[in-house]
Structure 1
């Protein structure tokens, strides 16, 4: 059974990134996806994406980045998932736009810099977790896609 599960995993997961600069320290929420699907976002914004925190199921990830700027918090609707992420960056992340399968556009930051747009490689997959580089700001972001968790009783 584990061999076929690995084969399924290999065909459904994909990655886009890193979008942004090379500064900061690496971070990854790979372990957080075990808490469930992405259910909310906390983004700290000034002229840059200063910091971010993601809620997986009912558990918030550790905050990454700085603590300045304005805190914006958005909750996804039950069963709603992120299916596209776009944004802009220069040396640091300047803008993030999360598009959901319910047609919502959750936009943070300023419209300055080089554009990027990320979508999953495989059909019926959603944003499962993020990674990247951060210091006092979010330097870069990576986006990891996979199937929506099948056992979501805790979500």
Structure 2
């Protein structure tokens, strides 16, 4: 009986790893090479992205904080600039991120599956446009570099876990 339970557990684990491997991708890192590295990889365990806080001025993305489920990540970057807080609607996910950068992040635009464009920052720099590699994937978490500004950003995509039926 124990052998059957162990075999079933291994099959479920292998299937979950296969689903994750086939549905995850990464874009970036967009921006400069300075700043301290950060990653929200552990935060995604709290749930999908449900809100975003951005500090920006006319030319830069200064600070960033993301809510995963009901839990806010630690803020990264600086504390100057105007703070904007955007909450996603139930069932809404980020499916595309575009922006501009040079030595730091200058503009961010989060595009959702409900057609909203959440735009922050300035209009100058090198453009980027990030989308997931696999269909039905959403933005699961971010990583990057920060000091007094967000100097670089990486975007991590995967299937939204709420879309899977778990036994």
Aligned pair partner of 1:20 in 4, 11, 31: 31
Larger Rg: 2
The structure 1 segments of at least 4 consecutive aligned residues displaced by more than 3 Å after TM superposition are none
**How does the TM-score come out when normalised to structure 2?**
0.89
Gaps of 5+ in 1: none
Q: Distance in 2 between matches of 1:7 and 1:133?
A: 30
Matches of residues 1-155 of structure 1 in structure 2 within 5 Å?
A: 1-46=12-57, 47-150=59-162
Give the SS at the match of 2:161. coil
Gaps of 5+ in 2: 1-11
Give the SS at the match of 1:150. helix
Give the SS at the match of 1:8. helix
Aligned-residue offset at 1:149: 1.6
1:79-113: per-residue Cα shift (whole Å, max 9, x none)? 10000000000100000000000000000000100
Aligned-residue offset at 1:150: 2.4
Q: Distance in 2 between matches of 1:24 and 1:89?
A: 14
Q: Distance in 1 between matches of 2:135 and 2:71?
A: 27
Match of 2:9 in 1: none
Give the SS at the match of 1:34. helix
Aligned-residue offset at 1:151: 7.7
Match of 2:8 in 1: none
Q: Between Structure 1 and Structure 2, which shows a larger proportion of helix residues?
A: 2
